């Protein structure tokens, strides 16, 4: 039995969390032969060295958070995400060392590309479980690289890169070309291509700045997987298929149909990848990244969870931030971490901000996969609670649980999510 969750941004101890709702959720996680979460927090050793570019803030905590997750029952960890390089490759290597020291099975990052791509294995009484992990959302410099005979590999994450195509109708494309020439950016791009700074535009495309724009019937954004990355990840899945009883593919992808991401839509390349991964031998596809739920789909009789949203969301209680986090709010050097937490959660006029203004970022489901059946257990992260308790997951009460499952069903037409009540809880059920 597999229990899966989404993003775990954990910065506090949870073992002392009071209440039946949390206790029942912990029991649910522990009930799985395999329990998976996305570790979206780094545990760099002191002195912490923050990267100049982050996945949206320096997500770091003491290594005690790994003990908290292990106490809760997790035994599979996805470590490839947009925060993996928040403390440079040194912080990533520190995190991997802490995981190894605790015997915590993890995948998606390593000292080289080969290690980052490789499956990780968990041996359980019910059989052997393989985990292959990758990310499509990452900052420059986060990617692992393979070694050569004359050069070592580079630590980093397992990437699934993608190509973005911008499509405009003929009249809009004509206007874009006119603007491009008028600004002088067209000539700059031509010179950059001539010097080899930029690759040449693909056949049939117009190069605008660094993007390829194609003519079509209507404006659209289309994405597709980098074929080399997709093929190599599928090879890893094929390898795992021959070595394990259950194969789980986990992907961290903020990207939706728009470039903004962090919404409920599914990017073309993510759907392409999920289908290929299942066809390559994955029994379950687990997605996360946008911090909200995305659709559930059944492909070839296997479940695809495009995003399980947040499981732990403790952004506000990060104990230290890099200088760039303060600079983005024009804060002076004397500013403290709580000031950053205030700035990220509340507008100057007191209104809740971004993540903190939308309940969907604070609601999720935990799927339990047993053979040909999936149970969906709704979870709430306590948006209305005080900062010191907000972001800790709890099983949702019946009415909120029903609403979460109805929202997920609306995102997943044709999947067939049945909703029933079990005591104080609403539970969803899918037959594969």
pLDDT in tens, 109-153: 999 999 999 999 999 999 999 999 999 999 988 999 999 999 999
Whether 53 is covered by a domain: the verdict is: yes
Give the pLDDT band of residue 71 (cuts 50, 70, 90).
very high
3-state secondary structure of 394: strand
For residue 196, give its domain range.
170-215
Instruction: Assess whether 271 and 405 both reside in one domain.
Output: yes
Q: Is the pLDDT of residue 196 over 90?
A: no
Instruction: Assess whether 184 and 312 both reside in one domain.
Output: no
Total domains in the chain come to 2
3-state secondary structure of 42: strand
DSSP 8-state assignment for residue 218: S
Contact of 249 with 238, CB cutoff 8 Å: no
Whether 62 is covered by a domain: the verdict is: yes
Q: At what angle do helices 64-72 and 20-30 cross, to 10 degrees?
A: 80
Report the pLDDT value the prediction gives residue 235, as an integer from 0 to 100.
Answer: 98
Instruction: Assess whether 62 and 124 both reside in one domain.
Output: yes
Q: Is the pLDDT of residue 374 over 90?
A: yes
Of 191, 215, 239, the residue that ends a domain is 215
Whether 353 is covered by a domain: the verdict is: yes
Contacts of 387 (CB under 8 A, 6+ apart): 316, 317, 341
Mean pLDDT of the chain: 95
Where residue 280 sits, what CATH number does that domain have? 3.60.21
Residue 221 CB-density burial (10 A; 0-12 exposed, 13-18 middle, 19+ buried): middle
Q: Which helix (H) or strand (E) holds 178?
A: helix 170-183
Q: Is the pLDDT of residue 331 over 90?
A: yes
Instruction: Assess whether 255 and 345 both reside in one domain.
Output: yes
Q: Is the pLDDT of residue 195 over 80?
A: no
Mean pLDDT to the nearest integer, 37-49: 96
Report the pLDDT value the prediction gives residue 2, as an integer from 0 to 100.
Answer: 98
Whether 220 is covered by a domain: the verdict is: no
DSSP 8-state assignment for residue 47: S
Contacts of 60 (CB under 8 A, 6+ apart): 41, 42, 43, 44, 48, 50, 86, 87, 91, 318, 320
Report the pLDDT value the prediction gives residue 199, as an integer from 0 to 100.
Answer: 83
Instruction: Assess whether 197 and 56 both reside in one domain.
Output: no
Give the pLDDT band of residue 259 (cuts 50, 70, 90).
confident
Report the pLDDT value the prediction gives residue 236, as an integer from 0 to 100.
Answer: 98
Whether 426 is covered by a domain: the verdict is: yes
Report the pLDDT value the prediction gives residue 190, as an integer from 0 to 100.
Answer: 86
Residue 358 CB-density burial (10 A; 0-12 exposed, 13-18 middle, 19+ buried): middle
Whether 184 is covered by a domain: the verdict is: yes
Distance of CA 11 to the CA centre of its chain: 17
Whether 222 is covered by a domain: the verdict is: no
Of 215, 244, 270, the residue that ends a domain is 215
Q: Which of 266, 270, 268, 275 minimizes the C-alpha distance to 234?
A: 275
């Amino acid at each position: 039995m597999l229990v899966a969750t989404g993003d775990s941004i954990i910065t506090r101890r949870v073992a002392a969390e009071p209440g039946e709702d949390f206790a029942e959720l912990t029991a649910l996680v522990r009930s799985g032969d395999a329990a998976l979460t996305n570790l979206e927090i780094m545990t760099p050793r002191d002195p912490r060295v923050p990267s100049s570019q982050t996945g949206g803030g320096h997500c770091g905590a003491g290594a005690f958070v790994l003990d908290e997750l292990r106490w809760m029952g997790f035994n599979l960890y996805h470590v490839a995400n947009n925060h993996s390089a928040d403390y440079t490759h040194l912080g990533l290597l520190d995190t991997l060392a802490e995981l190894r020291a605790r015997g915590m099975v993890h995948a998606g990052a390593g000292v080289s590309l080969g290690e980052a791509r490789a499956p990780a294995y968990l041996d359980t009484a019910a059989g052997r479980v393989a985990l292959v992990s990758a990310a499509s959302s990452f900052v420059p410099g986060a990617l692992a690289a393979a070694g050569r005979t004359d050069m070592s590999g580079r630590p980093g994450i397992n990437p699934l890169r993608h190509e973005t195509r911008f499509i405009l109708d003929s009249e809009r494309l004509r206007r874009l070309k006119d603007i491009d020439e008028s600004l002088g950016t067209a000539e700059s791009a031509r010179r950059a291509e001539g010097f080899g700074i930029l690759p040449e535009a693909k056949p049939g495309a117009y190069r605008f700045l660094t993007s390829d724009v194609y003519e079509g019937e209507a404006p659209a954004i289309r994405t597709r997987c980098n074929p080399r990355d997709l093929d190599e990840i599928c090879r890893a899945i094929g390898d795992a298929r021959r070595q394990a009883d259950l194969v789980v593919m986990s992907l961290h992808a903020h990207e939706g149909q728009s470039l903004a991401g962090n919404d409920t839509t599914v990017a073309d390349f993510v759907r392409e990848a999920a289908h290929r991964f299942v066809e390559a031998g994955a029994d379950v596809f687990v997605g996360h990244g946008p911090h909200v739920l995305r659709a559930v789909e059944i492909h070839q009789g296997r479940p695809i969870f495009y995003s399980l949203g947040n499981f732990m969301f403790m952004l506000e209680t990060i104990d230290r931030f890099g200088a760039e986090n303060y600079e983005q709010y024009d804060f002076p050097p004397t500013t403290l971490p709580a000031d950053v937490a205030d700035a990220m959660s509340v507008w100057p006029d007191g209104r809740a901000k971004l993540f903190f203004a939308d309940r969907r970022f604070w609601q999720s489901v935990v799927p339990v996969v047993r053979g040909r059946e999936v149970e969906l257990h709704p979870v709430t992260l306590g948006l209305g609670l005080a900062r010191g308790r907000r972001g800790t997951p709890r099983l949702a009460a019946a009415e909120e649980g029903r609403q979460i499952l109805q929202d997920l069903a609306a995102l997943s037409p044709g999947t067939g999510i049945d909703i029933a009540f079990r005591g104080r809880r609403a539970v969803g059920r899918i037959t594969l």
